[in-house]
């Protein structure tokens, strides 16, 4: 293969090798340095960075153009916006809550590093960069445990703040609403999200088609959502 | 952008399919690429995930009143959920109770379901008060038992009482109106701190 163009090198997400080798060292340097340049040690418990109206690109450019440590509000805002998404990605692909938490932490640390170093070619596409980095890091399960140990040892669980997951803390509400569903819909949800059965497996269990299962699942989860009162735009 | 509105939302159905693992790799990639650019759709995904996790938590805590399967019971066992099982078959009265530490009580209801598409299962105290009702339970051809699950916490609140379980074929099933398929009786001794005989 030919040499990759210089600007492409600069904009691509870092490889897993690069990340596992470089990121912890740089992040450790930043986190432990006087002045705590890695300012994702955010204002604990506060989501208000005063930047909620800014686009992702504006936030990213703000970080890239500022001296180290001078864009704390932007870094906080970037973390607030994306940590939850990376965590979800981690839960989906790593199937482990702790590993997903670690992934979110490391991906955001790496992203801030790259922004500060001018290694994100297009800050307007910072979401794509973060996704690419998430894929790189999550893809290497063999290195995952080593990275987790490294992060735990080096970062001393800095105080990070991200938007909380959509609240379903009220399990009683989920329980009540789950039992308000039709029996078949309830069973589809339980078999899907607890027993982790596929549509064909559930279809065989219920004596229906896979399409019926998928439609029932969509409908049931929407009803559950309405009943529990989970907020957010649902329909265009 | 983090706009509140998305001009081309991916839709809750796709979000649910994504979280349920129903999409192809390329479809998953498409959802992820969108979600990492779109805060509004990220919230949709978060909602689906939170609900899915909520459902799993309800089951994992044994807070369930529904029909279950052996696959679910196996998973519950792996999760350390303590399940007490009673088998209802024939006309004998089944002694039962709830013990401290029980999370879930499951009845294996065995009957002749031939020609039946769906049943309702109603459980009542001797007083006639309903303990629980599971309606429209689909029955597969050849199925010989249905596993009904109750939260042990719910049953723990019951007094000692005779319990009647009625299994009814729904109207239309088997070509006739609603009819009783089977009836069972349990003698519920109440809730106990430890198994009898244990000091």
Query: In CATH, what number is assigned to the domain containing residue B88?
Result: 2.60.40.10
Residue A236: closest C-alpha in chain B: B9
Please give, rounded to a whole number of angstroms, the shortest distance from the CA of B65 to a CA of chain A: 7
Average pLDDT, whole number, for chain B? Answer: 89
In this prediction, residue B125 carries a pLDDT of 95
Query: DSSP of A77-114, one letter per residue?
Result: HHHHHHHHHHHHHHHHHH--HHHHHHHHHHHHHHHHHH
pLDDT value of residue B8: 87
Q: State whether B56 and B70 are in the same domain.
A: no
Q: For the structural domain made of A171-228, what CATH number should be given?
A: 1.10.10.10
Same domain flag for B92 and B165:
yes
pLDDT (0 to 100) of residue B157: 92
In a domain, B1, yes or no: no
pLDDT of residue A131: 96
Beta carbons of A195 and B75 less than 8 angstroms apart: yes
Q: Mind listing the pLDDT tens digit for each residue in B130-140?
A: 999 998 898 98
A-proximal residues of B, 8-27, CB under 8 Å: 9, 11-13, 16-22
Q: Residue B198 domain-assigned?
A: no
The distance of A33 to chain B (nearest Cα, Å) reads: 31
Token output for B109: 């209801």
| More reliable by pLDDT, B86 or A70 | B86
Clarify whether residues B72 and B118 are in a common domain: yes
pLDDT at B123: 96
Give me the count of residues in chain B.
199
Strand partners of residue B145: B110
Q: pLDDT tens digits, residue range B138-165?
A: 898 889 999 999 999 999 999 999 999 9
Do B47 and B74 sit in the same domain of this protein? Answer: no
Query: Could B72 and A234 be called an inter-chain contact, meaning their C-beta atoms sit closer than 8 Å?
Result: no
Number of domains comprising chain B: 2
Between CA B69 and CA B75, with CA B71 as vertex, the angle to 5 degrees is: 120
**Residue B19 Cα to chain centre, angstroms:** 21
Point out the residue among A171, A187, A217 whose CB comes nearest to the CB of B66.
A187
Higher-pLDDT residue of B174, A93: A93
- DSSP-derived secondary structure for chain A: -PPPPHHHHHHSPPPHHHHHHHHHHHHHHHHHSTT---TTS--TT----S-TTS-HHHHHHHHHHSPTTS-HHHHHHHHHHHHHHHHHHHHHHH--HHHHHHHHHHHHHHHHHHHHTT--S-GGGHHHHHHHHHHHHHT-HHHHHHHHHHHHHHH-------PPPPP---HHHHHHHHHHS-HHHHHHHHHHHTS---HHHHHHHHTS-HHHHHHHHHHHHHHHHHHHT--S----
- Please list every residue in chain B whose beta carbon sits closer than 8 Å to the beta carbon of residue A222: 12
Chain A residue numbers with beta carbons less than 8 Å from the beta carbon of B42 are 84-85, 88
Task: Provide the CA B112 distance to its chain's centre, in angstroms.
Answer: 22
**pLDDT score at B181:** 94
Residue B126 forms part of a structural domain: yes
CB spacing of B72 vs A191 below 8 angstroms: yes
Q: Are strands B130-138 and B179-192 parallel, antiparallel or unpaired?
A: unpaired
Residues above pLDDT 90, as percent of chain B: 70
Q: What is the CB-side half-sphere exposure of residue A140 using CA atoms within 13 A?
A: 16
Same-domain pairing of B100 and B48:
no
Same domain, B93 and B49: no
Q: Residue A32 has which token pair?
A: 């432990």
List CB contacts (< 8 A) between A125 and chain B.
37
Q: Do B49 and A225 touch (CB under 8 A)?
A: no
Q: Is A158 in contact with A87 (CB distance < 8 Å)? A: no
Cα(A215)–Cα(A208) distance, integer angstroms? 11
The answer as to whether B6 is a domain residue is: no
The alpha carbon of residue B41 and the mean position of all alpha carbons in its chain are separated, in whole angstroms, by 30
d(CA B31, CA B136): 35
Cα angle B63-B68-B72, degrees, rounded to a multiple of 5 = 85
Give the span between the Cα atoms of B25 and A80, in whole angstroms: 28
Considering the domain architecture, whether residues B78 and B45 belong to the same structural domain is answered as no
pLDDT values of chain A reduced to their tens digit, one per residue, 236 residues:
334 444 433 445 555 554 444 344 333 333 322 222 222 223 223 455 578 889 999 999 999 998 877 888 899 999 999 999 999 999 999 988 889 999 999 999 999 999 988 999 999 999 999 999 999 999 875 455 555 555 555 444 434 444 444 444 578 899 999 999 999 999 999 999 999 999 999 998 888 999 999 999 999 999 999 999 876 554 44
| Phi, psi at B90, each rounded to 5° | 75, -155
Contact A224 B16 (CB under 8 A): no
In a domain, B82, yes or no: yes
pLDDT score, position A31: 32
pTM for this prediction: 0.76
Residues shown for chain A = 236
Of the listed ranges A187-196, B85-94, B102-111, B186-195, the one predicted with least confidence: B186-195
B98/B188 same-domain check: yes
**Do B29 and B91 sit in the same domain of this protein?**
no
* Cβ separation B32–A174 shorter than 8 A: no
Q: Which residues of chain B from 97 to 156 reach within 8 Å of chain A, CB to CB?
A: 134-141
3-state secondary structure of B73: helix
Helix (H) or strand (E) holding B161: strand B161-169
User: Which pLDDT score, from 0 to 100, does residue A143 have?
Assistant: 59
Give yes or no: residues B54 and B71 share one domain.
no
Q: Which residues of B touch A128 (CB under 8 A)?
A: 33, 36-37
Token pair listed for A127: 């979401």
User: What pLDDT is recorded for position A72?
Assistant: 87
Question: In the numeric block, which tokens belong to residue A48?
Answer: 């208000």
Q: Please indicate, yes or no, if residue B97 is contained in any of the structural domains.
A: yes
Q: Which domain holds residue B133?
A: 66-192
Domain membership flag for residue B3: no
Start-end of CATH 1.10.10.10 domains in chain A: 171-228
In a domain, B199, yes or no: no
- Do both B39 and B93 map to the same domain? no
Please indicate, yes or no, whether residues B117 and B72 belong to a single structural domain of this protein.
yes
Region of residue B157 (phi > 0: left; psi between -120 and 50: alpha; otherwise: beta):
alpha
């Amino acid at each position: 293969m030919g040499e990759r163009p210089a600007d492409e090198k600069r904009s691509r997400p870092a490889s897993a090798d690069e990340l596992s080798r470089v990121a912890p060292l740089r992040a450790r340097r930043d986190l432990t340095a006087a002045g705590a340049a890695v300012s994702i040690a955010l204002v604990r418990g506060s989501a208000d960075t005063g930047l909620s109206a800014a686009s992702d690109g504006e936030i990213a450019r703000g970080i890239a153009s500022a001296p180290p440590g001078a864009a704390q509000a932007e870094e906080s805002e970037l973390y607030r916006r994306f940590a939850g998404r990376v965590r979800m990605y981690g839960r989906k692909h790593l199937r482990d809550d702790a590993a997903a938490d670690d992934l979110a932490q490391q991906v955001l640390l790496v992203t801030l590093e790259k922004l500060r170093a001018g290694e994100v070619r297009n800050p307007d596409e910072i979401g794509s960069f973060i996704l690419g980095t998430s894929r790189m890091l999550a893809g290497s399960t063999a290195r995952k445990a080593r990275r987790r140990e490294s992060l735990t040892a080096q970062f001393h669980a800095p105080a990070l703040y991200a938007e909380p997951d959509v609240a379903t803390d009220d399990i009683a509400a989920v329980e009540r609403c789950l039992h308000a569903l039709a029996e078949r819909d309830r069973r589809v949800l339980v078999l899907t999200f607890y027993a982790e059965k596929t549509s064909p497996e559930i279809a065989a269990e219920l004596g229906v088609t896979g399409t019926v299962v998928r439609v029932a699942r969509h409908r049931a989860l929407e009803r559950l959502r309405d009943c529990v009162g989970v907020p957010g735009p649902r329909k265009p | 952008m983090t706009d509140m509105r998305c001009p081309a939302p991916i839709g809750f159905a796709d979000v649910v399919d994504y979280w349920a693992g129903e999409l192809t790799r390329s479809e998953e990639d498409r959802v992820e690429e969108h979600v990492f650019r779109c805060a509004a759709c990220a919230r949709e995904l978060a909602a689906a995930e939170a609900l899915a996790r909520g459902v799993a938590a309800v089951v994992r805590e044994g807070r369930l009143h529904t029909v279950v399967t052996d696959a679910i019971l196996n998973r519950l066992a792996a999760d350390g959920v303590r399940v007490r099982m009673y088998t209802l078959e024939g006309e004998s009265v089944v002694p039962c109770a709830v013990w401290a530490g029980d999370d879930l009580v499951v009845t294996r209801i065995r009957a002749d379901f031939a020609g039946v598409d769906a049943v309702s299962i109603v459980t009542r105290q001797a007083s006639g008060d309903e303990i629980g009702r599971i309606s429209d339970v689909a029955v597969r051809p050849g199925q010989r038992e249905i596993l009904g699950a109750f939260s042990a916490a719910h049953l723990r609140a019951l007094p000692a009482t005779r319990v009647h379980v009625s299994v009814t074929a729904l109207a239309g099933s088997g070509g006739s109106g609603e009819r009783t398929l089977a009836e069972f009786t349990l003698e519920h001794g109440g809730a106990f701190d430890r198994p009898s005989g244990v000091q």
